[in-house]
Structure 1
Amino acid sequence: MSKKRGLSADEKKVRMLEIFHQSKDFFQLKELEKIAPKEKGITMQSVKEVVQSLVDDHLVDSEKIGTSIYFWSFPSKAKNAKKRKFNELQNDFEECCKKLRKVEDSIATESVSRVQSEERTQLLSMLSDLEKKEEKLKKELQKYRDSDPEYIAQLKAECQGLKTAINRWTENIYILKSYIKNTFQMDNATIDQNFNIPTDLDYIEM
Protein backbone atom coordinates (compact mmCIF):
# COMPACT_ATOMS: atom_id res chain seq x y z
CA MET A 1 0.00 0.00 0.00
CA SER A 2 1.42 3.40 -1.02
CA LYS A 3 2.18 6.01 1.61
CA LYS A 4 -0.35 8.82 1.84
CA ARG A 5 0.93 12.05 0.32
CA GLY A 6 1.22 15.01 2.68
CA LEU A 7 -0.38 18.38 1.99
CA SER A 8 1.55 20.88 -0.09
CA ALA A 9 2.19 24.40 1.20
CA ASP A 10 -0.52 25.82 -1.08
CA GLU A 11 -3.04 23.17 0.00
CA LYS A 12 -2.39 24.00 3.65
CA LYS A 13 -2.96 27.69 2.99
CA VAL A 14 -6.23 27.01 1.18
CA ARG A 15 -7.52 24.79 3.96
CA MET A 16 -6.44 27.22 6.66
CA LEU A 17 -8.30 30.02 4.90
CA GLU A 18 -11.40 27.81 4.84
CA ILE A 19 -11.35 27.76 8.64
CA PHE A 20 -11.50 31.55 8.74
CA HIS A 21 -13.97 32.03 5.89
CA GLN A 22 -16.38 29.31 6.99
CA SER A 23 -16.48 30.42 10.62
CA LYS A 24 -16.07 34.19 10.09
CA ASP A 25 -14.59 34.25 13.58
CA PHE A 26 -11.43 35.41 15.39
CA PHE A 27 -8.82 32.90 16.56
CA GLN A 28 -5.72 32.70 18.66
CA LEU A 29 -2.87 30.54 17.40
CA LYS A 30 -3.42 27.88 20.05
CA GLU A 31 -7.04 27.55 18.93
CA LEU A 32 -5.99 27.06 15.33
CA GLU A 33 -3.44 24.45 16.41
CA LYS A 34 -6.33 22.43 17.80
CA ILE A 35 -8.83 23.02 14.98
CA ALA A 36 -6.59 22.69 11.91
CA PRO A 37 -5.34 19.11 12.50
CA LYS A 38 -8.82 17.83 13.33
CA GLU A 39 -10.88 19.57 10.64
CA LYS A 40 -8.39 20.20 7.84
CA GLY A 41 -5.62 17.62 8.26
CA ILE A 42 -2.93 20.25 8.84
CA THR A 43 -0.32 19.11 11.35
CA MET A 44 -0.13 21.14 14.53
CA GLN A 45 3.60 21.76 13.98
CA SER A 46 2.97 23.56 10.69
CA VAL A 47 -0.02 25.68 11.76
CA LYS A 48 2.06 28.66 12.90
CA GLU A 49 4.07 28.70 9.66
CA VAL A 50 0.94 28.46 7.48
CA VAL A 51 -0.83 31.25 9.37
CA GLN A 52 2.22 33.52 9.16
CA SER A 53 2.46 32.84 5.43
CA LEU A 54 -1.16 33.94 5.00
CA VAL A 55 -0.48 37.08 7.03
CA ASP A 56 2.55 37.86 4.84
CA ASP A 57 0.37 37.43 1.73
CA HIS A 58 -2.18 39.88 3.21
CA LEU A 59 -4.84 37.14 3.21
CA VAL A 60 -5.16 37.03 7.01
CA ASP A 61 -5.17 39.97 9.44
CA SER A 62 -3.62 39.87 12.89
CA GLU A 63 -3.80 42.17 15.89
CA LYS A 64 -2.35 42.06 19.38
CA ILE A 65 -4.99 42.72 22.01
CA GLY A 66 -3.55 42.84 25.50
CA THR A 67 -1.17 39.90 25.76
CA SER A 68 -2.90 37.83 23.07
CA ILE A 69 -2.62 37.89 19.27
CA TYR A 70 -5.79 37.30 17.27
CA PHE A 71 -6.08 36.25 13.64
CA TRP A 72 -9.04 36.65 11.28
CA SER A 73 -9.96 36.73 7.62
CA PHE A 74 -13.22 37.20 5.77
CA PRO A 75 -14.00 36.11 2.19
CA SER A 76 -13.75 39.70 0.96
CA LYS A 77 -10.17 39.85 2.28
CA ALA A 78 -8.99 37.22 -0.21
CA LYS A 79 -10.85 38.94 -3.04
CA ASN A 80 -9.29 42.31 -2.24
CA ALA A 81 -5.81 40.77 -2.00
CA LYS A 82 -6.26 39.14 -5.40
CA LYS A 83 -7.48 42.42 -6.85
CA ARG A 84 -4.51 44.28 -5.41
CA LYS A 85 -2.10 41.74 -6.89
CA PHE A 86 -3.81 41.96 -10.27
CA ASN A 87 -3.54 45.75 -10.21
CA GLU A 88 0.20 45.40 -9.58
CA LEU A 89 0.50 43.14 -12.61
CA GLN A 90 -1.50 45.61 -14.68
CA ASN A 91 0.96 48.34 -13.73
CA ASP A 92 3.86 46.09 -14.80
CA PHE A 93 2.18 45.56 -18.16
CA GLU A 94 1.67 49.28 -18.61
CA GLU A 95 5.35 49.90 -17.90
CA CYS A 96 6.28 47.31 -20.52
CA CYS A 97 4.01 48.98 -23.05
CA LYS A 98 5.56 52.38 -22.32
CA LYS A 99 9.04 50.99 -22.87
CA LEU A 100 8.00 49.36 -26.12
CA ARG A 101 6.42 52.56 -27.39
CA LYS A 102 9.53 54.50 -26.44
CA VAL A 103 11.72 52.12 -28.42
CA GLU A 104 9.38 52.31 -31.41
CA ASP A 105 9.48 56.12 -31.31
CA SER A 106 13.26 56.01 -31.16
CA ILE A 107 13.44 53.71 -34.19
CA ALA A 108 10.96 55.83 -36.15
CA THR A 109 13.06 58.97 -35.72
CA GLU A 110 16.33 57.32 -36.73
CA SER A 111 17.85 58.75 -39.88
CA VAL A 112 18.75 56.29 -42.64
CA SER A 113 22.20 57.84 -42.85
CA ARG A 114 22.99 57.07 -39.23
CA VAL A 115 24.03 53.42 -39.26
CA GLN A 116 24.62 52.53 -35.62
CA SER A 117 24.87 48.81 -35.03
CA GLU A 118 25.27 49.27 -31.28
CA GLU A 119 21.85 50.90 -31.11
CA ARG A 120 20.30 48.00 -32.98
CA THR A 121 21.98 45.55 -30.61
CA GLN A 122 20.54 47.44 -27.64
CA LEU A 123 17.09 47.36 -29.19
CA LEU A 124 17.31 43.63 -29.75
CA SER A 125 18.44 43.14 -26.14
CA MET A 126 15.57 45.26 -24.87
CA LEU A 127 13.14 43.32 -27.02
CA SER A 128 14.43 40.03 -25.60
CA ASP A 129 14.10 41.31 -22.01
CA LEU A 130 10.56 42.53 -22.62
CA GLU A 131 9.53 39.23 -24.19
CA LYS A 132 10.88 37.34 -21.16
CA LYS A 133 9.00 39.68 -18.84
CA GLU A 134 5.88 39.25 -20.94
CA GLU A 135 6.08 35.46 -20.56
CA LYS A 136 6.61 35.75 -16.79
CA LEU A 137 3.67 38.12 -16.38
CA LYS A 138 1.45 35.88 -18.53
CA LYS A 139 2.13 32.95 -16.20
CA GLU A 140 1.45 35.11 -13.16
CA LEU A 141 -1.80 36.46 -14.61
CA GLN A 142 -3.12 32.95 -15.25
CA LYS A 143 -3.32 32.43 -11.48
CA TYR A 144 -6.06 35.02 -11.20
CA ARG A 145 -9.58 34.35 -12.44
CA ASP A 146 -10.37 38.01 -12.93
CA SER A 147 -7.32 38.66 -15.13
CA ASP A 148 -7.88 40.36 -18.46
CA PRO A 149 -6.32 38.55 -21.45
CA GLU A 150 -6.50 41.76 -23.48
CA TYR A 151 -3.31 42.93 -21.77
CA ILE A 152 -1.47 39.84 -22.98
CA ALA A 153 -2.74 40.37 -26.51
CA GLN A 154 -1.75 44.03 -26.34
CA LEU A 155 1.80 43.21 -25.28
CA LYS A 156 2.09 40.61 -28.05
CA ALA A 157 0.98 43.23 -30.55
CA GLU A 158 3.53 45.71 -29.18
CA CYS A 159 6.33 43.11 -29.46
CA GLN A 160 5.26 42.27 -33.00
CA GLY A 161 5.28 45.96 -33.86
CA LEU A 162 8.76 46.32 -32.41
CA LYS A 163 10.02 43.42 -34.53
CA THR A 164 8.51 45.07 -37.61
CA ALA A 165 10.20 48.37 -36.74
CA ILE A 166 13.60 46.68 -36.26
CA ASN A 167 13.26 44.89 -39.60
CA ARG A 168 12.34 48.21 -41.22
CA TRP A 169 15.49 49.71 -39.71
CA THR A 170 17.51 46.77 -41.08
CA GLU A 171 15.95 47.30 -44.51
CA ASN A 172 17.06 50.94 -44.39
CA ILE A 173 20.63 49.81 -43.73
CA TYR A 174 20.52 47.53 -46.76
CA ILE A 175 19.18 50.39 -48.90
CA LEU A 176 21.94 52.69 -47.68
CA LYS A 177 24.60 50.05 -48.37
CA SER A 178 23.28 49.62 -51.89
CA TYR A 179 23.40 53.37 -52.47
CA ILE A 180 26.97 53.67 -51.20
CA LYS A 181 28.06 50.63 -53.20
CA ASN A 182 26.66 51.98 -56.47
CA THR A 183 27.70 55.60 -55.91
CA PHE A 184 31.22 55.15 -54.53
CA GLN A 185 32.04 51.72 -56.04
CA MET A 186 32.71 50.17 -52.62
CA ASP A 187 32.35 46.48 -51.82
CA ASN A 188 30.23 45.14 -48.96
CA ALA A 189 33.19 44.32 -46.72
CA THR A 190 34.56 47.86 -46.96
CA ILE A 191 31.15 49.41 -46.28
CA ASP A 192 30.59 47.16 -43.25
CA GLN A 193 34.01 48.03 -41.85
CA ASN A 194 33.67 51.79 -42.32
CA PHE A 195 30.16 52.00 -40.86
CA ASN A 196 30.60 49.34 -38.16
CA ILE A 197 27.88 47.15 -39.67
CA PRO A 198 28.01 43.56 -38.33
CA THR A 199 28.63 40.95 -41.02
CA ASP A 200 25.79 38.79 -39.70
CA LEU A 201 23.20 41.58 -39.97
CA ASP A 202 19.86 40.00 -40.87
CA TYR A 203 16.14 40.36 -40.46
CA ILE A 204 14.33 39.09 -37.37
CA GLU A 205 11.86 36.26 -37.84
CA MET A 206 8.29 37.47 -37.35
Structure 2
Amino acid sequence: MSKKKGLSLEEKRMRMLEIFFESKDVFQLKDIEKIAPKSKGITPMSVKEVLQSLVDDNMVDSERVGTSNYYWAFPSKALNTRKLKLDELKKQVSESKQRKESLQKAVEAAAVGREDTGKRSALLKELEGLRARRAQLRAELDQYRACDPDVVAEIKKSNVVAKEAVSRWTDNVFAIKSWTKKKFSFDERHVNKAFGIPEDFDYMD
Protein backbone atom coordinates (compact mmCIF):
# COMPACT_ATOMS: atom_id res chain seq x y z
CA MET A 1 0.00 0.00 0.00
CA SER A 2 1.50 3.34 -1.05
CA LYS A 3 2.06 6.10 1.46
CA LYS A 4 -0.25 9.09 1.42
CA LYS A 5 1.33 11.99 -0.39
CA GLY A 6 1.96 15.04 1.81
CA LEU A 7 0.75 18.53 1.06
CA SER A 8 2.86 20.82 -1.06
CA LEU A 9 3.96 24.18 0.32
CA GLU A 10 1.42 26.01 -1.84
CA GLU A 11 -1.39 23.73 -0.64
CA LYS A 12 -0.39 24.39 2.97
CA ARG A 13 -0.36 28.13 2.33
CA MET A 14 -3.86 28.08 0.80
CA ARG A 15 -5.23 25.97 3.65
CA MET A 16 -3.71 28.26 6.25
CA LEU A 17 -5.26 31.27 4.53
CA GLU A 18 -8.62 29.51 4.81
CA ILE A 19 -8.22 29.55 8.60
CA PHE A 20 -8.03 33.35 8.55
CA PHE A 21 -10.71 33.88 5.87
CA GLU A 22 -13.25 31.53 7.46
CA SER A 23 -12.88 32.90 11.00
CA LYS A 24 -12.04 36.55 10.20
CA ASP A 25 -10.24 36.52 13.54
CA VAL A 26 -6.84 37.47 14.95
CA PHE A 27 -4.54 34.68 16.11
CA GLN A 28 -1.29 34.10 17.93
CA LEU A 29 1.20 31.53 16.64
CA LYS A 30 0.21 29.04 19.34
CA ASP A 31 -3.43 29.27 18.18
CA ILE A 32 -2.47 28.53 14.57
CA GLU A 33 -0.24 25.66 15.73
CA LYS A 34 -3.30 24.06 17.36
CA ILE A 35 -5.83 24.74 14.60
CA ALA A 36 -3.79 24.07 11.43
CA PRO A 37 -2.94 20.38 12.08
CA LYS A 38 -6.44 19.44 13.22
CA SER A 39 -8.65 21.33 10.76
CA LYS A 40 -6.35 21.69 7.72
CA GLY A 41 -3.98 18.73 7.93
CA ILE A 42 -0.85 20.91 8.06
CA THR A 43 1.96 19.17 9.94
CA PRO A 44 2.83 20.90 13.26
CA MET A 45 6.53 21.15 12.30
CA SER A 46 5.74 23.24 9.19
CA VAL A 47 3.12 25.61 10.64
CA LYS A 48 5.57 28.36 11.62
CA GLU A 49 7.42 28.18 8.27
CA VAL A 50 4.19 28.33 6.24
CA LEU A 51 2.84 31.23 8.29
CA GLN A 52 6.09 33.18 7.93
CA SER A 53 6.07 32.66 4.14
CA LEU A 54 2.57 34.20 4.00
CA VAL A 55 3.73 37.15 6.11
CA ASP A 56 6.80 37.61 3.87
CA ASP A 57 4.54 37.67 0.79
CA ASN A 58 2.29 40.28 2.45
CA MET A 59 -0.69 37.89 2.38
CA VAL A 60 -0.98 37.76 6.18
CA ASP A 61 -0.54 40.80 8.41
CA SER A 62 1.52 40.58 11.59
CA GLU A 63 1.87 42.92 14.56
CA ARG A 64 3.85 42.61 17.77
CA VAL A 65 1.95 43.67 20.90
CA GLY A 66 3.99 43.44 24.08
CA THR A 67 5.73 40.09 23.99
CA SER A 68 3.28 38.43 21.60
CA ASN A 69 2.88 38.39 17.82
CA TYR A 70 -0.63 38.56 16.36
CA TYR A 71 -1.61 37.45 12.87
CA TRP A 72 -4.66 38.19 10.72
CA ALA A 73 -5.77 38.21 7.10
CA PHE A 74 -9.05 39.16 5.47
CA PRO A 75 -10.37 38.14 2.01
CA SER A 76 -10.31 41.75 0.82
CA LYS A 77 -6.60 41.95 1.69
CA ALA A 78 -5.85 38.80 -0.29
CA LEU A 79 -7.89 40.07 -3.22
CA ASN A 80 -5.99 43.35 -3.30
CA THR A 81 -2.66 41.53 -3.01
CA ARG A 82 -3.53 39.26 -5.92
CA LYS A 83 -4.76 42.23 -7.95
CA LEU A 84 -1.49 44.10 -7.36
CA LYS A 85 0.50 41.02 -8.33
CA LEU A 86 -1.62 40.56 -11.45
CA ASP A 87 -1.14 44.22 -12.41
CA GLU A 88 2.62 43.85 -11.93
CA LEU A 89 2.71 40.74 -14.11
CA LYS A 90 0.62 42.47 -16.79
CA LYS A 91 3.06 45.37 -16.75
CA GLN A 92 6.00 42.99 -17.15
CA VAL A 93 4.24 41.23 -20.05
CA SER A 94 3.54 44.59 -21.72
CA GLU A 95 7.17 45.72 -21.31
CA SER A 96 8.39 42.37 -22.68
CA LYS A 97 6.12 42.70 -25.73
CA GLN A 98 7.39 46.24 -26.39
CA ARG A 99 10.96 45.01 -26.02
CA LYS A 100 10.26 42.16 -28.45
CA GLU A 101 8.74 44.54 -31.01
CA SER A 102 11.70 46.90 -30.65
CA LEU A 103 14.16 44.06 -31.20
CA GLN A 104 12.16 42.78 -34.16
CA LYS A 105 12.32 46.23 -35.78
CA ALA A 106 16.06 46.40 -35.11
CA VAL A 107 16.53 42.99 -36.77
CA GLU A 108 14.50 44.08 -39.79
CA ALA A 109 16.48 47.33 -40.07
CA ALA A 110 19.77 45.43 -39.83
CA ALA A 111 18.63 43.09 -42.61
CA VAL A 112 18.21 45.99 -45.05
CA GLY A 113 20.99 45.81 -47.61
CA ARG A 114 21.81 42.24 -46.68
CA GLU A 115 19.42 40.60 -49.08
CA ASP A 116 20.84 37.52 -50.75
CA THR A 117 21.62 39.05 -54.14
CA GLY A 118 24.25 38.02 -56.69
CA LYS A 119 26.26 41.19 -56.04
CA ARG A 120 26.27 40.62 -52.28
CA SER A 121 27.35 37.01 -52.73
CA ALA A 122 30.21 38.14 -55.00
CA LEU A 123 31.32 40.77 -52.47
CA LEU A 124 31.21 38.24 -49.62
CA LYS A 125 33.29 35.83 -51.67
CA GLU A 126 35.81 38.60 -52.42
CA LEU A 127 35.92 39.53 -48.74
CA GLU A 128 36.62 35.92 -47.81
CA GLY A 129 39.43 35.81 -50.36
CA LEU A 130 40.96 39.01 -48.98
CA ARG A 131 40.84 37.65 -45.45
CA ALA A 132 42.60 34.48 -46.55
CA ARG A 133 45.25 36.58 -48.37
CA ARG A 134 45.78 38.69 -45.25
CA ALA A 135 46.30 35.56 -43.15
CA GLN A 136 48.83 34.29 -45.71
CA LEU A 137 50.74 37.58 -45.73
CA ARG A 138 50.85 37.64 -41.93
CA ALA A 139 52.30 34.11 -41.95
CA GLU A 140 54.98 35.19 -44.46
CA LEU A 141 55.73 38.29 -42.38
CA ASP A 142 56.32 36.12 -39.32
CA GLN A 143 58.77 34.01 -41.33
CA TYR A 144 60.81 37.08 -42.28
CA ARG A 145 60.82 38.59 -38.80
CA ALA A 146 64.28 37.09 -38.24
CA CYS A 147 65.59 39.44 -40.94
CA ASP A 148 64.01 42.51 -39.40
CA PRO A 149 66.85 45.00 -38.52
CA ASP A 150 65.24 45.77 -35.18
CA VAL A 151 64.98 42.07 -34.35
CA VAL A 152 68.59 41.45 -35.42
CA ALA A 153 69.79 44.39 -33.30
CA GLU A 154 67.88 43.04 -30.30
CA ILE A 155 69.42 39.59 -30.79
CA LYS A 156 72.92 41.11 -30.97
CA LYS A 157 72.26 43.09 -27.81
CA SER A 158 71.06 39.95 -26.05
CA ASN A 159 74.17 38.08 -27.23
CA VAL A 160 76.45 40.76 -25.74
CA VAL A 161 74.65 40.57 -22.40
CA ALA A 162 74.78 36.77 -22.44
CA LYS A 163 78.51 36.75 -23.30
CA GLU A 164 79.26 39.16 -20.45
CA ALA A 165 77.34 36.92 -18.07
CA VAL A 166 79.28 33.84 -19.27
CA SER A 167 82.56 35.71 -18.76
CA ARG A 168 81.59 36.62 -15.19
CA TRP A 169 80.78 33.02 -14.35
CA THR A 170 84.02 31.87 -16.01
CA ASP A 171 85.91 34.34 -13.78
CA ASN A 172 84.09 32.91 -10.76
CA VAL A 173 85.00 29.33 -11.71
CA PHE A 174 88.67 30.18 -12.17
CA ALA A 175 88.66 32.10 -8.85
CA ILE A 176 87.20 29.09 -7.04
CA LYS A 177 89.70 26.76 -8.71
CA SER A 178 92.59 29.03 -7.67
CA TRP A 179 91.33 29.29 -4.08
CA THR A 180 90.81 25.51 -3.84
CA LYS A 181 94.29 24.71 -5.16
CA LYS A 182 95.89 27.09 -2.65
CA LYS A 183 93.69 26.10 0.30
CA PHE A 184 93.91 22.33 -0.10
CA SER A 185 97.06 22.00 -2.23
CA PHE A 186 95.12 20.18 -4.96
CA ASP A 187 96.41 19.97 -8.49
CA GLU A 188 94.19 21.36 -11.26
CA ARG A 189 93.06 17.99 -12.62
CA HIS A 190 91.85 16.92 -9.16
CA VAL A 191 89.87 20.14 -8.77
CA ASN A 192 88.30 19.76 -12.24
CA LYS A 193 87.26 16.20 -11.46
CA ALA A 194 85.85 17.11 -8.04
CA PHE A 195 83.69 19.93 -9.43
CA GLY A 196 82.85 18.37 -12.82
CA ILE A 197 84.75 21.02 -14.76
CA PRO A 198 85.81 20.00 -18.31
CA GLU A 199 89.56 19.92 -18.96
CA ASP A 200 89.15 22.32 -21.89
CA PHE A 201 87.09 24.81 -19.84
CA ASP A 202 88.05 28.38 -20.87
CA TYR A 203 86.70 31.80 -21.87
CA MET A 204 84.47 32.10 -24.92
CA ASP A 205 85.94 33.79 -27.99
TM-score, normalising length from structure 1?
A: 0.56
**Which residue is equivalent to 1:179?**
119
Distance 1:99 1:194 in 2: 38
Residue identity opposite 1:179 in structure 2: K
Distance 1:81 1:36 in 2: 23
Task: Specify which structure has the higher proportion of helix.
Answer: 2
Secondary structure (helix, strand or coil) at the match of 1:49 reads: helix
Residue identity opposite 2:32 in structure 1: L
Distance 1:108 1:84 in 2: 36
Q: Deviation digits for residues 45-67 of structure 1, max 9, x if unmatched?
A: 21101100111122111111122
Distance 1:111 1:188 in 2: 15
Q: Deviation digits for residues 82-113 of structure 1, max 9, x if unmatched?
A: 11111121121122122223223434544844
Secondary structure (helix, strand or coil) at the match of 1:6 reads: coil
**Which residue is equivalent to 1:189?**
125
The change in CA–CA distance for 1:190 and 1:71 in structure 2 (over 3 A counts) is same
**Which residue is equivalent to 1:95?**
95
Number of equivalences:
131
Distance 1:42 1:58 in 2: 20
Q: Deviation digits for residues 96-140 of structure 1, max 9, x if unmatched?
A: 122223223434544844xxxxxxxxxxxxxxxxxxxxxxxxxxx
TM-score, normalising length from structure 2?
A: 0.56
Q: Which has the higher contact order (CA 8 A, sep 6+)?
A: 1
Residue identity opposite 2:86 in structure 1: F
Residue identity opposite 1:30 in structure 2: K
The change in CA–CA distance for 1:19 and 1:194 in structure 2 (over 3 A counts) is farther
Query: Is 2:73 aligned against 1:73?
Result: yes
**Which residue is equivalent to 1:198?**
none
Distance 2:60 2:24 in 1: 12
1:10-49 matches, cutoff 5 A: 10-49=10-49
Secondary structure (helix, strand or coil) at the match of 1:16 reads: helix
CA displacement at 1:37 relative to structure 2: 1.2
The change in CA–CA distance for 1:74 and 1:194 in structure 2 (over 3 A counts) is farther
Aligned-residue identity in percent: 49
Query: Is 2:26 aligned against 1:84?
Result: no
- Superposition RMSD on alpha carbons, in Å? 2.5
Question: Which structure is larger by alpha-carbon Rg, 1 or 2?
Answer: 2
**Which residue is equivalent to 1:130?**
none
| Ranges in structure 2 where 5+ consecutive residues have no aligned partner | 132-205
| Ranges in structure 1 where 5+ consecutive residues have no aligned partner | 114-171, 196-206
Moved over 6 A (4+): none
**Which residue is equivalent to 2:55?**
55
Secondary structure (helix, strand or coil) at the match of 2:58 reads: coil
CA displacement at 1:189 relative to structure 2: 3.0
